[in-house]
A and B are shown apart, each in its own frame.
Chain A
Amino acid sequence: MSTTRRFRCDDLLKFNNVNLDVLTETYNMPFYLQYLTTWPEYFLIKESPDGTPMGYIMGKAEGQKELWHGHVTAVTVAPEYRRLGVAKQLMDSLETVSENVYNAFFVDLFVRVSNTLAINMYNAFGYSVYRRVLGYYSGEEDAFDMRKALPRDTDKKSVVPLSHPIMPEDLEW
């Protein structure tokens, strides 16, 4: 039970319960403001009935032609609200926006290769590893670029795995 709504500036003052989690980075203001003012449909927060932030998702749409896609920049859930399907609901919302609002071909995200729990979770949400990006995380760890095709990609071309890993500088975005 929660309320999903667009993230508002004021939430920046209240999202500590989520952001104090060690794996959730607190970025500088321009980062949040950029997402808020550019892709407001893609920046969603979930609140519990008492108004406590449970988690949020940040995303954007980018790419030309068949690479036009929704991107999950960050999705995070406060520890006490895990295992309730919050992340799933947030991801669903982002996919819906990508499909219905932005008419994208697919949704993608990056995840540390060591984060098996998250990878399993994304698998369960229908994402598959498209390619491996070497040294994506400050040169220290590789990332999986995971994708999920949307209905516009009728042949599911976007998710055919790439046979070889790539370097971060080869990323299109």
Chain B
Amino acid sequence: MGNVKLNQPPDRMCVENGNLASPSSGNWRQAVRLCEKRDVERWLTTKALKANGLWRLGKYDEALELCLDVQGASPTDEDTLAAMTYNYRMMSRREQVAPMFEVAVAAKPRDPSLIKELFMCYVRAKHYLKAQQTATKLHKVDPQGGKFIIWAAATMLIQAERKDSSAGVMTLPLAEKMTVKVLQENAANGLRPVGEELRLCLDILNLQGKHREALEALERFEPATGGEASGGSTASAADESRGTIEDESSLENGTIVNMQEAERLELKAELYEKLGGADDLARAEEVVQGLIRRSPDQWSYYVTVLDLMDKRHGLSEAVAGAEAGGITTPEWPASLSAALELIRSLQQEYPKWRGPFLAEMEVFRRAIAWFGSGYTPPAAQEVGGTAPASEPPPPPPPTSSGDEMQQTPPPLVLWGLLCRCISRYMAVFSAKLCCFQDLRPHLTLFAIGIGEGESSGGIEEGLVWLRDFFRREAAESRAEAGATAGDAEREQAPLDQAQREIGVKRLHRYICACQSRHLLGDHTPSKTIPIDNGSSSGVGVAAAAASAGPGDGDDGSGGAEARYRGVVGELTSQYRATLHLNLGSEGGQREVQHGDELVILAAQTLLRLCELYDNVGGGASAPGGDADGGRPDQAKSKGYLGRVEAVCLLEAAMSCSPYNHHLKILAIDVYRQLGSFARALTIFGELDVKQIQMDTLSYLMLGPSLCHGLFGEVQGQCKGIAAVHRSCKNDTAEHVATAFERGNYSKGAEVDRFQREKLDVSLQLALAKAQKVTMDIMLDHQTYTSAARCLQEEERPERGGGATFPGDDWLTGLKENMDYSVQIDRCTVVSKAEEESVGAARTARLQASLKRRLLANQTLLVALKPLRDKGTAAASEAVLREAAEAMGGAAASAKSCRDLLASCPRHVLTLDSGKNGAEGGGKVYQAETPLRSQWLRLVSKTLTDGLVYTAIVLQALGAELPADKKKKSGKGKGKGKGKKAAEPAAGDGGGARLRLQEALSGLGWEVSELLRAMSTTLKSEVSAKGDPARPGETLTKLLKGGLGAEYEPAIGMLWESDGVRWCKESVVPGAVLGVTGSQAICCQRLLSVVTENLAMLQRWEKKGG
């Protein structure tokens, strides 16, 4: 019976025990019957198994009762305990497991496996102090070479890390003594040191600041070199138990894996660095240089060596001092030259590895910070010298115009040396897609300069030199002119492998050059440069500029807009010209396609241009103060069109490259800007965000879903986020125990830390929970009780509740786990400091919004309670305000009112429309007019914005639809995927309404519902007030204007994602790319109609409000 593992489900145990029939067949009913047989029925094990069967059959109460019954009998045998453990986990009553084992251990105090299980229970429950005591008890019963002493020490370390109040000052010194003793005894017995035990010892020492002792321990317990440990046939009994790993069975009692040499050296260097004396730093440097020689491609080693050098020679310190008017600039240390020498020799030895080449750049980049960019390092000729003779890459083949474009090499000062490195790196690695990303930090240095002060001297020259360099690189690597024309020919004569490779390399070099030009501000002007005043028809200018080619944009002919357009034209034409290089899916691979980066660059350029348009009329940045009144609208229209163009580009690229998530993420963002949620949602679905990604990536869609009124989606996602976190919490607890079992203590501590420092304090989780409460309250008042319960949970003391709910400590302790790195931005130059401050501001913003949300939730619940309880029309905004004030604090009143009103009470509206769902509180809400109208005003803006965008996209695409497709889609519309399609508005027919419904079917059911209700409400309100402006009609007109009859067939196409299919079908990107002049005019006309309607609506609102 003793061979049953506790983590095995009882159904397997049944088979193993052979006493019972196997319930693994799923026949739980039969299993329960078997458990009821007379001779076995009274056994505790049988009862525990029966409880399992009952639970599976859905007889929860009976099952639980039986479990409590078994527990009451204080079982001590492993089988019963295992089955009970399993049962309690299944019933989500994990907290009941430990008490059960406590009783068992009390009954059998010398049973090591029971005590061990109790230890694991405590670890899972995070009762580390109790775990520690249990481990000590275990050691007394079963010494096992001090293994359980190590367990105790490891739990003490975790307590210290957690700052558990019970973990006093004495904990760590005691843990230290215990660990060292075990290590010593084992060493004396000739046992190989276990890496994890040694690591634990170092962690305990380091946490006390005893780095010297840690270093000593590391050296003292150094593994025996040579064949000693492997023992051979004469190995002692001890050696056999912890000798060489023979197979799986050698590891049954936990790890005996020794520390690997590289890891040991890394730890050694780290400890020397922590000690920090000059000698120590020199030692550390020596160790790391040795590591570099062993693994010349390990970037972290180079970083460490340079950090050490900085510290040892006080370089950064001296710079800071010099700036403060103190000490003079530091001197170039000899060891830096030595390091360079090593790096250069490694470059020769490993000419294909990026490591040594990047390391040299890193040296110069740092040196610029230390010595100034114009500094000439000692023996500059040597340092900067010409490329070594053995350098593999041949210089790029000169183009016809190559001779005139010869660039003079930069001077042998630091910035010049860095430029030389960059150019050499391009020569060697430009065919790799990551080349730009590798160069980015160095290019950024030139792009942002180094700030004020003398040290920036030369940076500007460097920028000029680099711009020139990359311009030449781009020109040399462009696909040949007229490539687009030759598409048909090319298809007939497919490329051979070699040609393709050359083409791809060339393309990658071009991409890298373009990305670099972007970053260096050579492609597009900075955001502050206004767009050209004279361009009345942007598109026309675009066409002209597109033919001008890249690098010519600065001749002042087209101004900013033309220049942006020129860049986009050039990038897209190069994209088209190189499409034939792609292989598509081959050999089961799903690669991203070679030219995708060009589309990303083009789309981002367009988006930048759109931002410029957006700012027109926004005040300060408007170009030409005397612009006439229509000008801002025109610019706005161009902004929409630019986004449409960007999204078309991305769609076209996605159809050629369906597995590139960068394209998808960018497209989601543009669709969000356009107010197109259905398609954005589909693309987000393709990303297949799940599991832990719910925490890191759902921000991509959560925000947009909310502002687009996809409340069901929001609710679902919030639920998903909370669910992932809930299961993670169990999983991490479980695996801290696994780590102990396997002897991987450092990982146990790490998993515990991960849960505590990342998952528990996830801002996304807190936001999702709060959002979900809002949604629950708003969307379904039946869930009032559950929402209230949720909120109460939030108020628990550990959540910072109480008088100052939500507690500021709790709020500011929340951290963003969102992974923003997936949103690549090739254009923006950001310094590290800027990035950090932007990040901090964003976090603060999210925290503040969480706070408002929580307050709003609470206010709302208080306000809704009387409504619910009384079921009368007593509630009003006054009630709400009262409640808010009762909450205390000004923040909780007006602001939270607004917040909660903005949270879209769908049921208020549905009930209000009076057609269905008039159960219970329907009348209550109907009478509550002020609340509703205030809310309506708040959402109407978002909504109408979305519709305006929608209309413009439709126009832009619709005008290009082939005639036959129009018909086809006209018939097919309305069928669509239709998952969220709106139900037809009962009793309110008419063409306009129908069209509206069609259009809205893609917007998500909630929004269409919302609009319908909005329209009804406006009508009724107006008729009550007798307003002559007849806003109901205005609204219809607005929508009708946006979705004009002539474009009716296009509606279904785009918004039931057929428009997207159209993009895919006519995949010749050329057809999708340009928005023609006539379309632009159409859109502008449309826009004026819509704006007019909007203005009318606003006027009415002013009157009516």
Which residues of the other chain, B, contact A81 by a CB distance below 8 angstroms?
Answer: 433-434
A13 touches B734 (CB 8 A): no
A114 touches B587 (CB 8 A): yes
Q: In the complex, what's the smallest C-beta–C-beta distance from A29 to chain B, in angstroms?
A: 4
B298 touches A4 (CB 8 A): yes
Verify if B870 is at the interface (C-beta below 8 Å from A). no
- The closest CB in chain B to the CB of A80 belongs to B433
A37 touches B751 (CB 8 A): yes
For chain B, residues 684 to 737, give those with C-beta under 8 angstroms from any C-beta of chain A. 687-688, 690-693, 695-697, 727-728, 731-732, 734-736
Verify if B184 is at the interface (C-beta below 8 Å from A). no
Residues 668-687 of chain B: 1 if any A CB is under 8 Å from the residue's CB, otherwise 0? 00000000000000000001
B735 touches A37 (CB 8 A): yes
Which residues of the other chain, A, contact B248 by a CB distance below 8 angstroms?
Answer: 61-64, 68
Verify if A123 is at the interface (C-beta below 8 Å from B). no
Verify if B354 is at the interface (C-beta below 8 Å from A). yes
Q: A9-B758, A13-B819, A37-B739 are in contact. Are A79 and B731 (CB under 8 A)?
A: no
A-B contact count (CB 8 A): 180
Which residues of the other chain, A, contact B299 by a CB distance below 8 angstroms?
Answer: 1-3, 47-49
Q: A33-B735, A64-B249 are in contact. Are A16 and B750 (CB under 8 A)?
A: no
Residues 7-24 of chain A: 1 if any B CB is under 8 Å from the residue's CB, otherwise 0? 011101110110111110
B693 touches A26 (CB 8 A): yes
Which residues of the other chain, A, contact B295 by a CB distance below 8 angstroms?
Answer: 4
* B735: contacting residue among A14, A36, A41, A100, CB under 8 A: A36
B661 touches A21 (CB 8 A): yes
A115 touches B691 (CB 8 A): no
Residues 77-118 of chain A: 1 if any B CB is under 8 Å from the residue's CB, otherwise 0? 001111110000100000001001111000000001011111
Binds A, one of B19-27, B435-443, B463-471: B435-443
Which residues of the other chain, B, contact A65 by a CB distance below 8 angstroms?
Answer: 247
Which residues of the other chain, B, contact A89 by a CB distance below 8 angstroms?
Answer: 297
Which residues of the other chain, B, contact A22 by a CB distance below 8 angstroms?
Answer: 590, 659, 688
A13 touches B297 (CB 8 A): no
Which residues of the other chain, A, contact B751 by a CB distance below 8 angstroms?
Answer: 9, 33, 36-37
B692 touches A26 (CB 8 A): yes
B244 touches A21 (CB 8 A): no
- Cα distance A1–B296 in the bound complex, in angstroms: 9
**Interface of B: prevailing SS:** helix
Which residues of the other chain, A, contact B65 by a CB distance below 8 angstroms?
Answer: none
Q: A17-B821, A34-B738, A37-B739 are in contact. Are A50 and B441 (CB under 8 A)?
A: yes
A117 touches B587 (CB 8 A): yes
Verify if A73 is at the interface (C-beta below 8 Å from B). no
Q: In the complex, what's the smallest C-beta–C-beta distance from A114 to chain B, in angstroms?
A: 4
Residues 637-669 of chain B: 1 if any A CB is under 8 Å from the residue's CB, otherwise 0? 000000000000000000000011100000000
B438 touches A48 (CB 8 A): yes
- The closest CB in chain B to the CB of A49 belongs to B299
- Cα distance A103–B587 in the bound complex, in angstroms: 34
* B822: contacting residue among A2, A20, A29, A80, CB under 8 A: A20
B758 touches A1 (CB 8 A): no
Q: A29-B727, A30-B731, A50-B437 are in contact. Are A68 and B246 (CB under 8 A)?
A: yes
A13 touches B817 (CB 8 A): yes
Q: In the complex, what's the smallest C-beta–C-beta distance from B661 to chain A, in angstroms?
A: 4
* A20: contacting residue among B251, B362, B687, B746, CB under 8 A: B687
Verify if B591 is at the interface (C-beta below 8 Å from A). yes
- Cα distance A149–B60 in the bound complex, in angstroms: 53
A84 touches B354 (CB 8 A): yes
Verify if B744 is at the interface (C-beta below 8 Å from A). yes
Q: In the complex, what's the smallest C-beta–C-beta distance from A151 to chain B, in angstroms?
A: 14
B300 touches A3 (CB 8 A): yes
B696 touches A13 (CB 8 A): yes
Q: In the complex, what's the smallest C-beta–C-beta distance from A18 to chain B, in angstroms?
A: 10
Q: A17-B822, A33-B738 are in contact. Are A117 and B748 (CB under 8 A)?
A: no
For chain B, residues 268 to 299, give those with C-beta under 8 angstroms from any C-beta of chain A. 295, 297-299
* A29: contacting residue among B244, B249, B732, CB under 8 A: B732
A9 touches B750 (CB 8 A): yes
Verify if A168 is at the interface (C-beta below 8 Å from B). no
A52 touches B739 (CB 8 A): no
For chain B, residues 437 to 454, give those with C-beta under 8 angstroms from any C-beta of chain A. 437-438, 440-441
B691 touches A63 (CB 8 A): no
- Cα distance A23–B590 in the bound complex, in angstroms: 7
Verify if A156 is at the interface (C-beta below 8 Å from B). no
Q: In the complex, what's the smallest C-beta–C-beta distance from A71 to chain B, in angstroms?
A: 12
- Cα distance A34–B692 in the bound complex, in angstroms: 15
A30 touches B735 (CB 8 A): yes
A112 touches B588 (CB 8 A): yes
B747 touches A2 (CB 8 A): no
Which residues of the other chain, A, contact B738 by a CB distance below 8 angstroms?
Answer: 33-34, 37-38
* B693: contacting residue among A4, A16, A23, CB under 8 A: A16
Which residues of the other chain, B, contact A64 by a CB distance below 8 angstroms?
Answer: 247-249
A52 touches B589 (CB 8 A): no
Verify if B315 is at the interface (C-beta below 8 Å from A). no
Verify if B586 is at the interface (C-beta below 8 Å from A). yes
Which residues of the other chain, A, contact B691 by a CB distance below 8 angstroms?
Answer: 26-29
Verify if A5 is at the interface (C-beta below 8 Å from B). yes
Residues 144-185 of chain B: 1 if any A CB is under 8 Å from the residue's CB, otherwise 0? 000000000000000000000000000000000000000000
Which residues of the other chain, B, contact A79 by a CB distance below 8 angstroms?
Answer: 433, 591-592, 659-660
Verify if B257 is at the interface (C-beta below 8 Å from A). yes
A16 touches B696 (CB 8 A): yes
- Cα distance A20–B696 in the bound complex, in angstroms: 12
Residues 135-153 of chain A: 1 if any B CB is under 8 Å from the residue's CB, otherwise 0? 0000000000000000000
- Cα distance A34–B232 in the bound complex, in angstroms: 33
- The closest CB in chain A to the CB of B230 belongs to A103
Residues 299-331 of chain B: 1 if any A CB is under 8 Å from the residue's CB, otherwise 0? 110000000000000000000000000000000
- Cα distance A1–B586 in the bound complex, in angstroms: 28
Verify if B260 is at the interface (C-beta below 8 Å from A). yes
Which residues of the other chain, B, contact A8 by a CB distance below 8 angstroms?
Answer: 750
Residues 46-70 of chain A: 1 if any B CB is under 8 Å from the residue's CB, otherwise 0? 0111101010000001111101100
Which residues of the other chain, A, contact B748 by a CB distance below 8 angstroms?
Answer: 37
Which residues of the other chain, B, contact A118 by a CB distance below 8 angstroms?
Answer: 587-589
- Cα distance A40–B756 in the bound complex, in angstroms: 20
- Cα distance A10–B696 in the bound complex, in angstroms: 11
Which residues of the other chain, A, contact B297 by a CB distance below 8 angstroms?
Answer: 1-2, 89
* B244: contacting residue among A9, A41, A61, A103, CB under 8 A: A103
For chain B, residues 89 to 114, give those with C-beta under 8 angstroms from any C-beta of chain A. none
Which residues of the other chain, A, contact B591 by a CB distance below 8 angstroms?
Answer: 79, 82
A1 touches B355 (CB 8 A): yes
Which residues of the other chain, A, contact B441 by a CB distance below 8 angstroms?
Answer: 49-50
Verify if B126 is at the interface (C-beta below 8 Å from A). no
Verify if B529 is at the interface (C-beta below 8 Å from A). no
Which residues of the other chain, B, contact A62 by a CB distance below 8 angstroms?
Answer: 248
Verify if B140 is at the interface (C-beta below 8 Å from A). no
B659 touches A21 (CB 8 A): yes
A38 touches B742 (CB 8 A): yes
- Cα distance A34–B587 in the bound complex, in angstroms: 32
Verify if B754 is at the interface (C-beta below 8 Å from A). yes
Known: A1-B438, A37-B744, A49-B299. 18 other contacts (CB 8 A): A1-B354, A1-B357, A5-B300, A12-B692, A19-B693, A29-B691, A29-B731, A33-B731, A36-B747, A37-B748, A48-B438, A49-B362, A68-B248, A79-B659, A102-B257, A116-B587, A117-B586, A120-B587
Chain A residues within 8 Å of B, Cβ to Cβ: 1-5, 8-10, 12-14, 16-17, 19-23, 26-30, 33-34, 36-38, 40-41, 47-50, 52, 54, 61-65, 67-68, 79-84, 89, 97, 100-103, 112, 114-118, 120
Chain B residues within 8 Å of A, Cβ to Cβ: 244-249, 251, 257-258, 260, 295, 297-300, 353-355, 357-359, 362, 432-434, 437-438, 440-441, 586-592, 659-661, 687-688, 690-693, 695-697, 727-728, 731-732, 734-736, 738-739, 742, 744, 746-748, 750-751, 753-754, 758, 817, 819, 821-822
7 interchain residue pairs of minimum CB distance: A9-B754, A1-B354, A68-B247, A116-B587, A115-B588, A33-B735, A20-B661
